[in-house]
Amino acid sequence: MTDDPSRRSDPPAGPADAVDTGPLGALGASITSAYGRLITPRLAPHGVTLIQFGMLNHCFKGQADTVSGLATLIPVDAGSLSRHVDKLVRQGLLRRRRSQRDRRVVRLELTDEGTALVRELTPVILEVNAVLLSGVSEEEKRCLVGVVRKIMGNAARNSR
């Protein structure tokens, strides 16, 4: 990058009162990176990644009980999620059960060890969230969550 003003290009002009958000992808990636730097060393001693914890937590909360259900909640392709499930099964944290109603469906269930790990790590996740959100008011948190949900909804509607 150079400081030579003749080499800089200004972004396209927008409305005078528009907020410069910069590239949203870079902003999202920066948040993800910061979160990963804080949480990864706290999860590693337990043998799970953030994605794997998310999978266990969604199962714990009853939000998903199949790989396809997890794929709607975790932004990772189903093949990768299946490999994560394989690892969690080998670790004794999840088990697969064939549905009694539809033998084609394989349900995921937390083992007692998986349940214990979610309960143990949830305060760790909440602590990291608190660190990242320190100085952010409750109103700002509500606004952040609302805006992110709108952006994700826009992305979902426009990716079909």
117 neighbors 93 (Cβ within 8 angstroms):
yes
Q: What residue has token string 């979610």?
A: 118
What's the rounded Cα separation, in Å, for the pair 30 and 24?
10
Query: What does DSSP assign to residue 73?
Result: T
152 or 113: which leads in pLDDT: 113
Q: What is the pLDDT of residues 3-16, one digit of tens each?
A: 555 555 555 555 55
Alpha helices in 76-111 (DSSP H): 78-90
In this structure, what token pair is assigned to residue 87?
Answer: 């690892």
| CATH 2.60.40.10 is the classification of domain 44-131 | no
Q: What is the pTM of this model?
A: 0.78
Q: What is the pLDDT of residue 101?
A: 84
Q: What is the pLDDT of residues 31-85, one digit of tens each?
A: 999 999 999 999 999 999 999 999 999 999 999 999 989 998 998 888 899 999 9
What's the rounded Cα separation, in Å, for the pair 9 and 80?
40
Q: How many CA atoms lie within 13 A of 157 on its CB side?
A: 6
Q: Sketch the domain layout of the chain as residue ranges.
A: 44-131
**Of the candidates 11, 95, 13, 110, which has an alpha carbon nearest to the alpha carbon of residue 53?**
110
